[in-house]
Amino acid sequence: MTTALNPARIAVLLALLVLGALTGAAGWLVVDLWFPGGLLLALLALFGLFLGGRIAVGSGLGVGAGAIGWFLAYVLLGVPRPEGDFLLGSSGIGMYAYLLGGTVLAVMCATLRGPFEGSVSAARSGK
């Protein structure tokens, strides 16, 4: 698969960015609403987004676009407003687990190798 940035590929990356933001906002709500099960549901949604982005784009760039959208939503919803309150409150440990789990899933999907990409060889990496 080619790695050139053509208009179709840019459109897919922008769509993944928006999907990442929507997934991040929905995950924030679900983690606070149903803590143990909501965290698992939010992390499964992130895994689907990151893996789908990896498959759709064919590289870790798809994971990166979704992860940037997710992280922007996470940060923007957690920043205090000028009035001193938060847009969405945090229950504590669930949000930190969501941040850590999402980061681990993004790194895992970005470094994943497909079944047809071949194995990694130390002898061939020096070429």
Interval 45-70: pLDDT, tens: 999 999 999 988 888 899 999 999 99
Nearest Cα residue to 65 out of 5, 125, 121, 124? 5
**DSSP-derived secondary structure letter, 18:** H
Is the pLDDT confidence value at 119 over 60? no
Least confident of 47-51, 71-75, 110-114: 110-114
Supply the pLDDT for residue 118. 55
Q: 32 and 89 in contact (C-beta within 8 Å)? A: yes
Q: Give one DSSP letter per residue of 51-82, joined into a string.
A: HHHHHHHSSHHHHHHHHHHHHHHHHHHHSBPT
Q: What is the pTM of this model?
A: 0.79
The residue among 51 and 89 whose pLDDT is bigger is 51
Amino acid letter at 86? F
**DSSP-derived secondary structure letter, 98:** H
The token pair at 51 is 């893996």
Q: Strand, coil or helix: what is 89?
A: coil
CA triplet 6, 8, 10: central angle to 5 degrees?
Answer: 70
Torsions phi, psi for 40 (to 5 deg)? -65, -40
